[in-house]
Structure 1
Amino acid sequence: MTEILEPENCFCQLASGSKGNALYVKGGETAVLFDCGLSGRELERRMAERDLDPTTLSAVVVSHEHTDHVGGAGVICRRFGIPLYITEATRTGSTKKLGKTKAMDIQAMECGKRFSVGSLEIHPFSISHDAADTSGFRVTASSGAVLGIATDLGIAGHLVKEHLSGCHALVLESNHDPELLYANPNYPWPLKQRVRSRVGHLSNEEAATLLDAIDRSRLSHLVLAHLSEENNTPDLALAAAYGVLNGSNTSITVAKQNLPTPVLSF
């Protein structure tokens, strides 16, 4: 049987949405997990679906303290003996969710300051969300390939555009359709306001506007992430993105809550 080899630089959105998020990124010989809102068992199951080996992980990097991003991070770090990279404010807000932190190797991360995990250079940057210190990430492999990650943000200012420009691949929030959100009888008005606020989530149209504002000359893959299961549909998210990317060589994948994406190269 012919062995299936991962690309040198690749990523896989293992889960995306309000019930749990996890993103596998590999550059050269280094594999890192960005966020883990899944149980340890579920994370391993999903990685196995894509022939990814959790024992090769070098670290977990957390974007913010909401349970759907940090809930399983402590379990994974302890299980595989790998460090957790987290800002001090996010750590403070995650203590109970992380579990036995004394048994973990916790590394301080600071937005605006690059750090390296093996062959990956990671540059966290501040984004606008209703958490203590939410981070987006610009990840550069030793080959020079760049992946941008921004999945929980209410607005996309100059800093976000700067860090997402010139990437070879992007994981970008396309959370909701405003009309579906406002018509949703299950969402009380304060929650609708929170989603649409400057510290909430990007709509499909806002994600498309952000795409239109950045340098996409090297962009080969776009993953639309954190879609609301109640206030969005893949077709609506894709239509907004295609409105900007139509005619380009960029492929678009919609990340799902219950199914990993294919393993994509960058």
Structure 2
Amino acid sequence: MARFCPLFSGSNGNCTYISASDTAILVDAGRSCKQLLCALKERQIDPSSIQALLITHEHTDHISGLKVLVDKLKIPVYASQEVLAKLEWDNLLAPGTKTVPLEHDSKVEIGGLWVNSFDTPHDSAHSLGYRVETQDGQCMVIATDLGYVTDQVREKLTGCDLVMLESNYDAGMLSCSSYPYYLKRRISSSMGHLSNEDCSLELARLVKTGTTRFILGHLSQNNNLPQLAYQTAFASLCAQGMKENVDYILKIASRSGPSEMMIL
């Protein structure tokens, strides 16, 4: 049995809990240590059960609680070599922290989990997504902070039981927002974020390859609404004749606190 729970997901902080049998990991630590520990407690998760922290990239909304949390839990940090170097340069790792650099398309064993990292196109030192497989064959993937779905990302998404995919912004809201032009260009670029529409185009294909659970993640606080992200995805799946709660389950990850625990 595997468990998957976004503790926070959005432009103001990200952290996801994944576990199976006797192994538990976190992906990102983008809220304060206190907030992250409170979120774990709210979902009745013992912090001492966490065995590793995986970092997607070095932007603040993914690492703001990293230094204190890792020092408290005494767990290793996994990330790309470039991101680890940036964290060390910026003094964001406590002395003595064990770090594990991940190579391109590497696969590492953490307890009873196999973690396969893959590149995501984003304006960072070296951003990664993670595909996590359990000993009994369950497969979950996190792919957020990506400007578009590359062939490699699509390969890693395919065949997973649960996919957490970025649905960051609504194109109309972004266009009309008060953001400066350069920032709008950055968000919508091939090294920025995935729109609701781009996200929705992937979902029907994934249902056809066996995915039954979707979580839309990393929603923008200013350029999206949970209802818009949901309706865009729902309409795309409906257009392919797919029925919610029959062919698939669709959830929205909360920005402000723990989402529902998904059990596979």
**Which stretch shifts more, 206-215 or 174-183?**
206-215
TM-score (norm 2): 0.93
CA–CA distance in structure 2, aligned partners of residues 13 and 86 of structure 1: 19
CA–CA distance in structure 2, aligned partners of residues 66 and 242 of structure 1: 30
**Which stretch shifts more, 252-261 or 171-180?**
252-261
1:88-112 Cα deviation digits (max 9, x unpaired): 1011222365634432111111231
| Contact map agreement 1:161 1:214 (CA 8 A) in 2 | no
TM-score (norm 1): 0.93
| Contact map agreement 2:207 2:247 (CA 8 A) in 1 | no
CA–CA distance in structure 1, aligned partners of residues 158 and 208 of structure 2: 7
Counterpart for residue 258 of structure 1: 256
Sequence identity (%): 33
CA–CA distance in structure 2, aligned partners of residues 28 and 61 of structure 1: 19
SS in 2 for 1:36: coil
**Which stretch shifts more, 165-174 or 249-258?**
249-258
Is 1:76–2:76 an aligned residue pair? no
CA–CA distance in structure 1, aligned partners of residues 254 and 90 of structure 2: 24
* Amino acid across the alignment from 2:59: H
CA–CA distance in structure 2, aligned partners of residues 118 and 220 of structure 1: 26
Structure 1 residues 10-89: aligned runs within 5 Å? 10-89=3-82
| Contact map agreement 1:152 1:201 (CA 8 A) in 2 | yes
Would the alpha carbon gap of residues 81 and 48 (structure 1) be closer, same or farther in structure 2, given more than 3 Å must change?
same
Unaligned runs of 5+ in 2: none
Q: 2:217 aligns with which of 217, 220, 225?
A: 225
* Amino acid across the alignment from 1:131: S
* Amino acid across the alignment from 1:254: I
Structure 1 residues 100-139: aligned runs within 5 Å? 100-139=93-132
Structure 1 residue 38, shift from structure 2 partner: 1.2
CA–CA distance in structure 1, aligned partners of residues 248 and 216 of structure 2: 12
CA–CA distance in structure 2, aligned partners of residues 17 and 139 of structure 1: 21
| Contact map agreement 1:26 1:32 (CA 8 A) in 2 | yes
SS in 2 for 1:103: coil
1:207-249 Cα deviation digits (max 9, x unpaired): 0112234454432321100111111111111111112333152
Task: Give the superposed CA RMSD.
Answer: 1.4
1:170-206 Cα deviation digits (max 9, x unpaired): 1110001111001012x10000000000000000000
SS in 2 for 1:253: strand
Counterpart for residue 249 of structure 1: 247
